[in-house]
Amino acid sequence: MAGIVLKYKIPQFQEYTIHVQKYNNVTNSSELRSKLAELPFAYIDSKTVISVEQLSSAIYKAILETEYNRMRTRTIHSECILSLSPSSNIGDALNRFGIKEGTTDIIVIKIIEDSNEEPYDGNASVDGDLVPVSDDEFSTSADKEIIKTVCIPCDKL
Amino acid sequence: MVNLNGIPPRGKRNYYLAIGLEGSANKLGVGIIKHPVLEKHEDSDLSYECDVEILANIRDTYVTPPGEGFLPRDTARHHRNWVVRIIRKALTEAKIDDPTKIDVICFTRGPGMGAPLHCVVIAARTLSLMWDIPLVGVNHCVGHIEMGREITGAKNPVVLYVSGGNTQVIAYSEKRYRIFGETLDIAIGNCLDRFARTLKIPNAPSPGYNIEQLAKQCKNKEKLVVLPYTVKGMDLSMSGILQYIDTLAKDLFKKNLKNKLLFDSRTGEQLVTVEDLCYSLQENLFAMLVEITERAMAHVNSNQVLIVGGVGCNVRLQEMMAQMCKDRSNGQVHATDDRFCIDNGVMIAQAGLLEYRTGHFVKDLSETIVTQKFRTDEVYIAWRE
Amino acid sequence: MSAEIIASIADVLTDNIPLTPISQGAEAVVFTSPVHPYLPKNRTDGDDKLYILKYRPEKKYRHPVIDKTLTKHRTLGESRLLAKLRLIDGLNVPKLIGCDPYHGCIWLEFLGEDLPNGHGFSNLKNFLWMNASDPYSDLVRDTMINVGKQIGLMHWNDYCHGDLTTSNIVLVRAGEDWQPYLIDFGLGSISTLVEDKGVDLYVLERAIISTHSSFANRYNLWVLEGFKSVFESHGKAGLGKYKDLIRRFEEVRLRGRKRSMIG
């Protein structure tokens, strides 16, 4: 496993192994953006995530919907990005929480279904500095103003 | 503890005789009952164990043509035409040659429809003056409750009172039948009756009975027609559901192909039948009733339910309630059959006689005014601890 | 508590989430668990932390379609309400952790603690019992005023609790004081109606009278004092609203909550 990866399982969904990585000073954002459809990862703009709890609650919701209801997007990874959003508009969610032109700090989610897939080798196709995942790290790169705009329903602002 | 033997029966007998007159809606009922004088009632809380003997239970129902409901004026006319006949029939069946031997004449003081109530109380007052027998005015709901307790032997259940005019969840506490939950608009029987009118199904023996039979014939039970579910805390509301399902039924009759719920959008094939609507309506309404009953049971820590009132005859409602009671620490549901579920004179006699035996009866005719609004919790239940 | 009910949810959550039942109402069963439903374990959360699971089991008496829809609707409704309430400055409600509407599950933070000397869990009911020997102390007075403030804040923002009993107010230690938290919004709603707010106040008043009748008068006055202060802080408009509310509250008191109905 290359570098420091947060790896865990959700207690009631032992079939999935979840990996979270953070990259700072990313240089190939545009390349990643153009290949989003083929790359089996969730690439998230760090400015929109303030804590591990926020991220893991979205991952929980994504798996819950997949297992107990139905996926609203095409992959479990895009489902994670949708689950970060308070609205169910997929386009909005991907635009707001996904990586943009010039995003330098990225959070990567990789979910492996243990019975079907090979273990994750840690290569997320990102050119950047891999840093340890923690609340401190997330809150440092988070942008509170952006989070207020995208996370809290408009009528509450 | 309560003493039910305070006032001895007339003529030094060892039993009480009471006649009850009921006519708050379209059923006119006359009942005659006998309570033996038992020592156990001197100082106890056994008003549900009176060992009642039913000497007569005569009833005539004013049935209107399909698609029509009953109006107060016509109902009162029906009662006026029948009351003497029915009283005579009851006396004959009870083998009472000398009516002056009766201890008390009980009548429905309310709640109900004004004109019919009035008609019946006039009959009661007349008998009282003719035979010189005291009168007791009875609350219709309390009549149902006391009859239910006596017939089923349920000591202190949560009561679900469901009829054409009432929908209440009641539990006894400190001399009152307290209302825990009720309808915020129409009664469930009223909802079912009005839907029956929309469907133009016959009103005999009763519209609710016919909806029940149609529901049984539903062949599509897995695919329920989704209706609004309107429980609000401990209460429920039904006018919205009625409006919605009336619209569905009308669309069905008009063959409104635009209604995608009822007709396939491509082939125009009919997807829902009248039986399906009846089934879905029952499942929805009854689930709401069972839910508010369960809430009341949790509140007072009880696992017994007594269902009274005309809609209590419905077998599906009894089934659902029984399932809920069973899941709640093995509780039980009690229900009576249509002799007592449906409005009758015997229940008025039962509640009236209990009140009489605790020393309460009308001292002056001015106290016999009937009233359309008469809440169950306004009655002081002197015969219970 | 029905073994069947426990088994049904334990099945879904698997052995990895141990559950301890703590109460059962008409609609839901409440459990505690030492395991967080989704947080990665390598976090410093404290090993003895507990989480609350509020579970709405299926009701066999109703049609499966009605049951599933209702459970989902209620679970989502309560969760959304809690999330909105949490955004109100100064209002104390439990933090929503997770929501599974397909099984009727709501995960919440655990609030409160066990009171000393076997007085039970730190809800308002037990707290008042514990202080029965010194019922009019500053501590009790301040706590009741704070309870009033919480309700005032909730009503000012046009939310109603729906079941405001003394068991549904949990006290959380804050230094020497106790901070009241409102819990269990299963019957809660957004409402601008004075009727609904009046009923909230009435239910609490009755609850205090029925369990602490000797001191109830003072307790209820303190609650209203705190309640009023929230409205007063919004000037004339606030005071106007307060007067309307109290008027309706008194009407509700007279009626005994139940509306008059035709027979």
Phi first, then psi: what are they for A89, rounded to 5°? -80, 110
pLDDT for residue C177 is more than 50: yes
How many pairs of residues across B and C have Cβ atoms under 8 Å apart?
72
**Right CATH number for C3-109 from 3.40.50.300, 3.40.50.1000, 3.30.200.20, 3.20.20.140?**
3.30.200.20
Residues of B in contact with C62 (CB under 8 A): 283, 287, 290, 320
Give me the residue spans of the domains in chain C. 3-109, 116-255
Q: Establish if C214 touches chain B: CB-CB under 8 angstroms.
A: no
Sequence length of chain B is 385
Contact (CB<8Å) A12/C13: yes
Tokens (6 digits) for B231: 């429980």
Q: Is residue B375 part of a domain?
A: no
Which stretch of A89-98, C41-50, C139-148, C234-243 has the lowest confidence by average pLDDT?
C41-50
**Right CATH number for C116-255 from 1.10.510.10, 3.40.50.720, 3.30.1280.10, 3.40.50.620?**
1.10.510.10
Claim to verify: residue B328 and residue B347 sit in the same structural domain = no
Confidence of residue B82 (pLDDT cuts 50, 70, 90): very high
Claim to verify: residue B119 and residue B138 sit in the same structural domain = yes
Half-sphere exposure of B134 (CA within 13 A, CB side): 18
Which positions in chain A have a beta carbon within 8 angstroms of at least one beta carbon in chain C?
Answer: 6, 8, 10-12, 14, 18, 20, 52-53, 56-57, 59-61, 64, 68-69, 152, 156
Nearest to B21 by CA among B93, B134, B108: B108
CB nearest C187 (choices: B182, B224, B233): B233
Residue range B232-267, pLDDT digits in tens: 888 999 999 999 999 999 999 999 888 988 998 888
Task: List, in sequence order, every beta strand (DSSP E) within chain A.
Answer: 6-10, 13-24, 42-45, 106-113, 129-131
Widest distance between CA atoms in chain B? 81
Collect all residues with Cβ–Cβ distance below 8 Å to B81 and sequence separation of at least 6.
none
Nearest to C220 by CA among C134, C129, C148, C142: C148
pLDDT for residue B56 is more than 70: yes
What is the pLDDT averaged over residues C160-167?
92
Task: Provide the domain count of chain B.
Answer: 2
Claim to verify: residue B362 and residue B252 sit in the same structural domain = no
Claim to verify: residue B184 and residue B285 sit in the same structural domain = yes
C-alpha–C-alpha distance, residues B378 and C155, integer Å = 32
Q: What is the CATH number of domain A5-150?
A: 3.30.2380.10
Residues of C in contact with B110 (CB under 8 A): 263
Confidence of residue C45 (pLDDT cuts 50, 70, 90): low
Residue range B301-315, pLDDT digits in tens: 888 999 999 999 999
Confidence of residue A1 (pLDDT cuts 50, 70, 90): very low
Claim to verify: residue B321 and residue B245 sit in the same structural domain = yes
Beta strand C96-100 with B135-139 is unpaired
Instruction: With a threshold of 0.85, tell me whether the complex ipTM lies above it.
Output: yes
Contact (CB<8Å) C17/A12: yes
Claim to verify: residue B172 and residue B300 sit in the same structural domain = yes
